[in-house]
Amino acid sequence: MIAFRLPSASRPLRLEILDGDITAQSTAAIVNAANNEFWMGAGVAGAIKARGGAQIEADAMAQGPVDPGACVVTAAGRLPARFVIHAAVMGQDLITSAELIDRATRNALNAAEQLQLDAIAFPAFGTGVGGFPVGDCAAIMVEAIRAHANAGGSVRLVKFVLFGQAVYRAFAEVAGEMLGAPLDGPPDCPISG
């Protein structure tokens, strides 16, 4: 895990990047990288459905379809989190873009603010089935979080919970380039002292 502090209009926001299982996070909400009809197949969505229960998918699908980039919120079923924010980062064609990743990230943060949540965990949007380049995804998502921190709000902790060391290292490197030196992190982190 590596962490960064982002200045904010109110209290600073902490950004943590870790290699782990997003379904095990006890943040107020976790984010599902979804399609715009919210059926949950493989990847992050499949893991959320398998661990949290099929009701999560049923509740999300009842609120769709939506335009790509939009979000809906459901209860988290058997997950440690309280909510799942389903961010439609792609349509039924399962293709994403920089614009959709940016819009979905910002809308997920806004959904967390509407619920007055203090902590949210994101996966890497669109980098699995969507095939979007990991480094580009990291830059888009970090910038959206930096912009959100500048506006202030209830969210004080954002986590990127990533699958695999390669994705973790890419996000950590991009965050270091964009945000400066980390607060902390193990010595083997790509940008730790």
Whether the predicted pLDDT of 151 surpasses 90: no
Whether the predicted pLDDT of 193 surpasses 80: no
pLDDT 10s digits, 60-111 = 999 999 999 999 999 999 999 999 999 999 998 889 999 999 999 999 999 9
pTM over 0.75: yes
pLDDT-derived band at 192 (thresholds 50, 70, 90) equals very low
Domains parsed from the chain with CATH numbers: 2-179 (3.40.220.10)
Whole-number pLDDT of residue 57: 97
Q: In the 3-class helix/strand/coil scheme, how is the chain assigned residue by residue?
A: CEEEEECCCCCCEEEEEEECCHHHCCCCEEEEEEECCCCCCCHHHHHHHHHHCHHHHHHHHCCCCCCCCCEEEEECCCCCCCEEEEEEEECCCCCCCHHHHHHHHHHHHHHHHHCCCCEEEECCCCCCCCCCCHHHHHHHHHHHHHHHHHHCCCCCEEEEEECCHHHHHHHHHHHHHHHCCCCECCCCCCCCC
pLDDT 10s digits, 20-37 = 999 999 999 999 999 999
Tell me what percent of the residues of the chain surpass a pLDDT of 70: 94
Whole-number pLDDT of residue 42: 86
